[in-house]
Amino acid sequence: MSEEDVGTTGANLDRARRIVEAALFLSPRPLTVRELSQRAGVSPSDILKILDDIGKRFSDVDSALVLERFGSAVRLYVAPDVLPLVRDLAAVPEFSDRELEVVAYIALKGSVLRSELRKLYRSADRVIEKLRSMGAIITKKKGRTVEVRKTELFDRYFGTVRR
């Protein structure tokens, strides 16, 4: 008889909730319900209950952490009103909306010349440096400019498809 046949016990759900919280806290990208289910060892329906519980607990205590769900994915992030006060502590750099435009362009192209990015975005060099420091891109000299190419980490972090 499987665990689903007999139902998930309260102790198993408590452990699964802790695993889900830790996974969301540590993950640099949104995680799917399926990924959380596999990692925590409980059914997707149990994950949905756990996510409801976590979201309610964060909102009940006016937490600085926010649980955001979109489609079958979920992420945990710092509330916008608190983020400017703690942003410098992040192990991985945060990106402004303008910087995310550069990131989106790189995600779309997969590989792009720095000179092209500079023509389109004033913040290109700053974004390239942030992405390079976290290992999300590699750069390679190409003529008088530099080719910027996204890595597997880029795709994992931003939840994009590899090109």
Domain-ending residue, one of 86, 121, 141: 86
98 and 56 in a common domain: no
Domain-ending residue, one of 57, 86, 115: 86
Whole-prediction pTM value? Answer: 0.55
Dist CA 92 CA 69 (whole Å): 21
pLDDT at residue 93 greater than cutoff 70: no
User: Does residue 163 sit within a domain?
Assistant: no
7 and 82 in a common domain: yes
Q: What are the backbone angles phi and psi of residue 43, rounded to the nearest 5°? A: -70, 160
Compute the average pLDDT of residues 91-117.
89
Domain-ending residue, one of 59, 86, 113: 86
**CA nearest neighbour of 12 among 46, 60, 51:** 46
137 and 70 in a common domain: no
What's the domain count of the chain? 2
Count of H helices and E strands in the chain? 9, 6
**CA nearest neighbour of 24 among 55, 56, 45:** 55
- Express each pLDDT in 24-72 by its tens digit: 998 877 889 999 999 999 999 999 999 999 999 998 898 999 898 877 8
Compute the average pLDDT of residues 114-120.
96
Dist CA 79 CA 62 (whole Å): 10
In CATH, what number is assigned to the domain containing residue 24? 1.10.10.10
Compute the average pLDDT of residues 137-147.
94
What is residue 27's three-state secondary structure?
coil
Return the pLDDT at 84: 77
82 and 7 in a common domain: yes
Dist CA 10 CA 64 (whole Å): 27
Compute the average pLDDT of residues 94-122.
93
- Mean pLDDT: which of 7-16, 113-122, 152-161 is highest? 113-122
Return the pLDDT at 5: 40
